[in-house]
Amino acid sequence: MKKIITLTIITLFTLNLSAQKIEKGIWQIEIGTGINTGFNWVTGGEYDYKETSNGTVILESDGDWSDFYNSNSTLNFDVDATNFQNWEDRFLKGVSIGYFVADGFLIGLALDLDGENNTIDDTINVNKNADFSLGITPKLRYYIPIKRGNAMFFETSFGAGINNTTVLNEYQNGDWNEDINNSFGSTIGLGVGWSIFSFNSREIFAIEPMFGFNIGSGTTNSTYTSFDKAADIKYIDKKIDKGSSMGAYFKIKIAFYLGRHFWSH
């Protein structure tokens, strides 16, 4: 699927199209470049933990994350601007499609969908992995033309996503363990960026650097289960983490602005 999207984008780029940039009726396709850096502050959260053995509660606790920190805020730093391995995943992460409903006003939607399901059986142990993630981010942009035919834009967005992972290990002696994590999160973002039309692309192709700020929250439900066949004991650890955060970011994307006549063919 990713290769089909890649070929489609390359085809659009090589066609002799002539879009009117940011006027009503223009379509936009935006992809990533792998350049995405950001700071993130954890601003709050709470936890709920329970451990059971054969159905009997042996440990239980809950509280606020401030119980572990002197302050209720921590700082995380993530830089992902130099690693260009797995280029298809990196360039096609956060692909979005937008439409100009009026001159300078764009409504867009980004969709991230990923999944994996595999089983490894080496006759002694069996390992099963399942991973599914889905993210949806609608956005609204307002463009302001600037000199040299380029444009400045302001963006607001709302993102929501889920991620489900399961890891199951089964052993020859009958023991097994399973780790399940289900997460849901949402973000509200504000940003400012520039559409730089260049490379003699007949104003179709633009490089778009962007600065922004996100406010987010999320919940993760984790369940770890282990079974000891010889002792006939099943341990279950359940944990619920809730957190909120805010952070600033910088990223660079690539965009294609397509005229209405293209879609009529």
Judge whether residue 65 has pLDDT over 50: yes
- Compute the distance between CA of residue 201 and CA of residue 259 in angstroms, rounded to an integer: 13
**Phi, psi for 103 (deg, rounded to 5):** -60, 120
At 238-263, the pLDDT tens digits run 999 998 889 999 999 999 998 754 44
Q: Enter the tokens of residue 152.
A: 């400045």
Mean pLDDT of 138-143: 97
Beta strand 74-80 with 56-64 is: unpaired
- Compute the distance between CA of residue 175 and CA of residue 185 in angstroms, rounded to an integer: 34
Judge whether residue 78 has pLDDT over 70: no
pLDDT score, position 143: 96
* Global pTM exceeds 0.85: no
> Pick the residue with more confidence: 112 or 201?
112
**Phi, psi for 12 (deg, rounded to 5):** -60, -35
Annotated domain spans of the chain: 2-263
